[in-house]
Amino acid sequence: MSSAGEKRQARGGTPLRAETVARTALALVNTGGLESLTMRKLVGVLGVQPPALYRLFGGKRDLLDEMAETVLAGVPDRVRLDQDADWAERVEALAHAVRECLLAQRDGARIVGGSYAAKGHARTFTLAATMVETMMDAGFPAESALWPCTTIFSFILGETLEQQGAADAGGESAVAARISEHPSLPAVTADRFLDFDARFEFGLRVLLDGLRAALAAGE
């Protein structure tokens, strides 16, 4: 019979770590989608007994939170900024970096959007703190600097969710074909609807313009 210590180890005898489990789970999602991920399948791939997994995570919800944390871990490395960038350029760079991380992982928007940031994961809070500090540098008062951050983050999640959903629905051509079946929509709508890069740039520009207007109005 295996000891409790052995059960906490992955195949090969290495200690089982939360980040290792999360990365393995993300790899499984990349292969079969989020619906295919089960704790039983994860246990089999890791080569551990179920109790070893449940010592790290109380359940799948906790695992998904760690997966979200892992997805967002790459944001700082993707931020490309000049040293003298203003607040809007910093927000734009962060927004693009978050979107890139979400798109790099299958169902990334669903994983991150389904987690609860207030549970206290270090990387998520570091990202949030960076955004809040940027908004305070822009001129938003401390008591409301979080609101533009949550607005921008929700926009990023929503647009990325649409893009990844299109891929899961059979690809952009399949979605375009279904859109074209509705005569009330102009013929150009399908092409424009599926231009996710242009949609993202437009939406981000509108949000930044709105934030500048709010600052000018002293809101």
Residue 219: Cβ within 10 Å count: 11
- Cβ contacts of 141-149, under 8 Å, gap ≥ 24: 148/207, 148/211, 148/214
Residue 122: what pLDDT? 72
Q: Which of 68, 74, 73, 10 lies closest to 34, judged by CA?
A: 68
Q: Which CATH number among 1.10.357.10, 3.40.30.10, 3.40.190.10, 2.60.120.20 corresponds to the domain 82-216?
A: 1.10.357.10
- Same-fold call for 4-58 versus 82-216: no
pLDDT averaged over every residue in the chain: 86
Q: Is the pLDDT of residue 121 over 70?
A: no
Residue 1: what pLDDT? 34
Q: Give the HSE-up count for residue 166: Cα atoms under 13 Å, Cβ half-sphere.
A: 21
Q: What is the pLDDT of residues 175-200, one digit of tens each?
A: 677 777 776 666 556 677 788 999 99
Instruction: Give domain 4-58's CATH superfamily.
Output: Homeodomain-like (1.10.10.60)
Going from the C-alpha of 111 to that of each of 30, 40, 119, 170, 179, the distances in angstroms are 12, 19, 15, 20, 27
Can you give the residue ranges of every domain in the chain?
4-58, 82-216
Report how far residue 173's alpha carbon sits from residue 114's, in angstroms, rounded to the nearest whole number: 28
The values of phi and psi at residue 33, to 5°, are 90, 165
Q: What is the pLDDT of residues 34-73, one digit of tens each?
A: 999 999 999 999 999 999 999 999 899 999 999 999 999 9
pTM given for the model? 0.85
